[in-house]
Amino acid sequence: MSDPQIAENGPQTAGSGTTTATSSQTAALSVRSLVKEFAGAAGTLSILLGVDLDLNRGDAVVVTGPSGSGKSTLLYIIGLLDQATSGDVTVLGQDISTLGEAQAAAFRNEHIGFIFQDHHLLPQCSVLENVLIPLLAGDGVSPADEERAKKLLERVGLADRITHRPAQLSGGERQRVAVCRALINQPELLLADEPTGNLDQATAESVGTLLLDLSCEENVALICVTHSLELAARFPRGLELRAGKLCQLSD
Ligand SMILES: Nc1ncnc2c1ncn2[C@@H]1O[C@H](COP(=O)(O)OP(=O)(O)OP(=O)(O)O)[C@@H](O)[C@H]1O
Ligand SMILES: [Mg+2]
């Protein structure tokens, strides 16, 4: 990419020290030598071949790469939704390999927001209920939570859709609900998999702005996967998943 915003002045690999935590920065994520293989009838598929990545609270990084290069796989592992074949992942100081299934679910719910590529909304719940779902596993929903959910929905232009069911929304509207759901728990780490994939240009731009503003305002570490060059160009740091490794986004 030629956009100067994307250029990163560090060394060649993503985890080689460009964002090492200083005393004023809190490490949100450390990924070391991450390998992911899928075993299948036709043999073993090696998807991630040694991924390194460091991220501090408040950092925003975009990850691009061809379809099938392993972007969603990487987010799933970092988001505790899948397990690595080998390598180390530390989220907010926690080595995630030491967590049992229930602990991982609780940790994920408390600290990580995930915007799925195909949003995964619950069809039987309203828009507002879908946004509030992550809170149900915790202390329940307070009036302040409901207020925050409504504010988020307002911010993505869905204030007048809160009683709709997902089936009564457009694809882009469903995706915006998924963005709000990922943000309701005020996560420290936000993982967004193609968050603007189904959106028109104006809405995509406003969702991109929401994510970047939030990362900054609420000190959230953000990893955003996208095929959109427009969205990628807005990030201060750009990486590309290529041949199983994370590299600087090329010019
Ligand atoms: N559970 C699985 N079992 C076997 N292979 C898998 C599994 N999940 C993913 N893969 C393979 O791993 C590769 C990477 O998939 P992934 O979904 O991470 O790609 P991606 O970079 O997100 O692609 P896209 O841009 O199309 O979303 C693909 O070739 C896919 O077929
Ligand atoms: Mg994907």
The matching CATH number, chosen from 3.40.50.300, 1.10.10.10, 3.30.450.20, 3.30.1370.30, for 27-248 is 3.40.50.300
Calculate how far, in angstroms, residue 189's C-alpha sits from the geometric centre of ligand 2: 18
Q: What is the pLDDT of residues 56-101, one digit of tens each?
A: 999 999 999 999 999 999 999 999 999 999 999 999 999 999 999 9
CA separation for the pair 163, 159 (Å, rounded): 10
Calculate how far, in angstroms, residue 26's C-alpha sits from the geometric centre of ligand 1: 31
Question: 3-class DSSP state for residue 11?
Answer: coil
CA separation for the pair 73, 89 (Å, rounded): 14
| Structural tokens at position 216 | 């900054």
With beta carbons less than 8 A apart as the criterion, state whether 80 and 112 touch: yes
Q: What is the pLDDT of residues 3-62, one digit of tens each?
A: 333 333 333 344 433 334 443 468 999 999 999 999 988 899 999 999 999 999 999 999
In this prediction, residue 214 carries a pLDDT of 85
CA separation for the pair 82, 202 (Å, rounded): 33
Nearest to 78 by CA among 87, 68, 65, 66: 87
From the CA of 67, which ligand is nearest? 1
Instruction: Specify the residue with its C-alpha closest to ligand 1, atom 6.
Output: 38
In this prediction, residue 251 carries a pLDDT of 53
Calculate how far, in angstroms, residue 22's C-alpha sits from the geometric centre of ligand 1: 35
CA separation for the pair 225, 243 (Å, rounded): 16
Domain limits, the chain: 27-248
Q: What is the pLDDT of residues 121-171, one digit of tens each?
A: 999 999 999 999 998 877 789 999 999 999 999 988 899 999 999 999 988
Instruction: Specify the residue with its C-alpha closest to ligand 1, atom 9.
Output: 73
Instruction: Specify the residue with its C-alpha closest to ligand 1, atom 3.
Output: 38
In this prediction, residue 233 carries a pLDDT of 95
